[in-house]
Chains A and B, each alone.
Chain A
């Protein structure tokens, strides 16, 4: 498919990397250095120019494209290129929008093929998910919330340390699909040994949370007092979600005028003006009484350091927002409990909106080293009626869960996919192509 991406920033470059393997990508970027980098490193057509400029869009042949992904950081650029694509009848348009107030312009177009992705909303939904499952690192929902993906940490002094997966007993309602050891993710076998510090990915229905929690030895935790660092759009959203759950919230914001907005918009929260990387500010906010800190400023380093200071002052759990992909492994190593990446969240959302080849939803894990593919078995499916054992699945992939007649089935080797089944396949990035080949995607 011919896809035009506007903007080679964090989100655009991740999308380009994922999509350029299969599709014809043209990427438009203003910055010369970024544009050259894309040209030299990925298999795509890179055009240096302004995505608002119709001449540039014409050069990118947007008028003949199947899909437009307008993902620059500038709302206006995204809207203008959407307008261009809309006029030429591009079949699928996804645009990123920072300020939801611009939605009105998109609504005016009355085009059902345009999807809007608002990073703030995606992140806040993700945060709410995390807050509701405080022991899991990553809680992602699939198949209309019938299935959840959990990322669980193997903690020290729990029953599961140094046990083989087969020793954990048979499970009828969940399946371990991946084990990440020191950032290297693999598909577990029965004899895979769990060690301290490993992360385990599990797919199962949301009800199994309690059982998993017990298995992994998590104590019951109640979050009662939370500090939110950063009073931006995202900080305010998260604060609102937490307050609605009955949690008491304190917000630290370093900009005075913004602090005033926060105080006005979220009157239930206590708003403090100050720098969250100063211990003094944290003390004044009452860091010793807080049990959770979420750092949501736009500055990776600031988020990390405020979380580390909080951790040092005795805060149980910390979550930081980050953008730079290189930080993932380090954040875990230095003791940040959870890291939420804006670029991955937004890119995942966009990929799942594309519905390329029967895929309903794609989610990447561990910075794109693995992914979960959710898809439906249609009438012309290549694998319908063939037992899983007979399909040449590579070592790097596993069929996780099947939803049949809205019930969860954990498929074994003799499982036969039938019409209208929905399958969730967990695969490592190196096997994605092979898996898609087998599935006929």
Chain B
């Protein structure tokens, strides 16, 4: 493992992150608000730290390979440091006085969680709120994937770095060159974002709001600049557009790319996508019926709210168009379940991901068949291809670890805070999976501000752990990683 290589990589990233911090300054200038200095100072601090790190190590040119340990190190440190420096604008402007609050908000942004400790989001200048949503957008497709797309010389680690950051058990390369693949993925990401901004603007949403919500939607983050979130617009049209784009953001971006290139057969054959669509259709129907029976008078209104809320939980975006905390228990329970499931691998969503659940369902079914015919040879297949046993068993381990950590975290939160069991469980599911709002005390109309600093830092850790799909962080806290 090489700390020098990690420092060089990190330094390079921070250097550019500092430049990106100047972007929200444009809002300060346009709206003539007093937060311009915040971005100038934060940007300079971040870039200078980056430059110091970069120049403290020798030349990069003779490093052609990054070993595995260093790869883990780079990915974990990138996310931790980006979150720390990303908290600077909040602290400098005085949005929060407690550093734990600023860190929580920053982590929540980069990991596209969208859980907030801001009690009132409507009192802060446009620049600050823009930075908050920009962190979503940067983190959505991945900071490292972006770095590789823009700075191809950082592509030395081959697929390992990108694989660690991207969601899902495997990462597919679209082209032989990793920088090309990263560019294509970011291209699709940018395209979807621009499209959504235009559509929202046409629907009458002011352009600033449209950008904020597009960042939150495509990155499946969920930050809004209104306390009522999407509910503020109270417009079925706006909700419909965002529902559609949340659905799209929950799909593997590789499939979007194939779709744009006209390779429909790759998309059509994809079993994860089918599973994702089926789950959506079935669960939206169930919740619609539940709501129609219990709350809303018309089926149309029930469908409008159920589809939005289901997708926002399933894709782990975490917007709200209505206070779903007042819904019947069945509907709320389904929302928590899909928060743990997550959408497709290779999308911007969090949590376990459909492909893993699909493989486990197939594995479970095979066990039953094996009991009936012990000698029968049955392969696990996905998209017509045989999945090998080691891949399938590593998926089982991942899901177990995920659920175990979820249970452990709920216990920790219950131990530290005086909250209801529903609050604790939904808070952990919502931060671990990158959703944002949970139920009861952390419900859509509430926030995380009342928690102790310890819990905030712990949940921040949980958000990064969930965003990087456990391993990049877990290996770092394993003693044998540090043994020489």
Chain A interface residues (CB < 8 Å from chain B): 2, 17, 20-21, 24-26, 32, 39-45, 429-431
Contact = CB atoms under 8 A, between A and B. Distances in A.
A8 B180 CA distance: 22
A24 B175 contact: yes
A45 B158 contact: no
A44 B176 contact: yes
Contacts of B173: 39, 45
B65 A45 contact: no
Nearest to B155: A43
A346 to B, nearest CB: 21
A40 B176 contact: no
A41 B65 contact: yes
* Interface of B: prevailing SS: loop
Contacts of A41: 65, 158, 160
22 contacts: A2-B176, A17-B64, A21-B64, A24-B175, A24-B180, A25-B176, A39-B159, A40-B159, A40-B163, A41-B65, A41-B158, A43-B155, A43-B156, A43-B158, A43-B177, A43-B178, A43-B179, A44-B176, A430-B59, A430-B61, A430-B62, A431-B61
A45 B175 CA distance: 7
Interface in B388-404: 388
Nearest to A61: B176
A202 B160 CA distance: 40
Nearest to B63: A430
Interface residues of B, number: 20
B117 to A, nearest CB: 39
A334 to B, nearest CB: 27
Those 7 A-B pairs whose CB atoms lie nearest each other, nearest first: A24-B176, A45-B176, A430-B62, A430-B61, A41-B158, A43-B178, A44-B176
Max chain A CB contacts within 10 Å: which of B155, B158, B176, B177?
B176
Contacts of B158: 39-43
A40 B160 contact: yes
B176 A26 contact: yes
A24 B174 CA distance: 12
Nearest to A3: B176
A389 B444 CA distance: 69
B88 to A, nearest CB: 34
A429 B62 contact: yes
B181 to A, nearest CB: 9
B282 to A, nearest CB: 34
Given A20-B176, A24-B176, A41-B158, 14 more contacts: A24-B175, A24-B177, A24-B180, A32-B388, A39-B158, A40-B68, A40-B158, A41-B65, A41-B160, A43-B155, A43-B176, A429-B62, A429-B64, A431-B61
A32 B388 CA distance: 11
Contacts of A44: 176-177
B261 to A, nearest CB: 13
A158 B134 CA distance: 68
A42 B178 CA distance: 9
A21 B152 CA distance: 11
A20 B64 CA distance: 11
Contacts of B177: 24, 43-44
Contacts of A17: 64
Interface centre among A2, A25, A41, A429 (most CB of B within 10 A): A41
A336 to B, nearest CB: 27
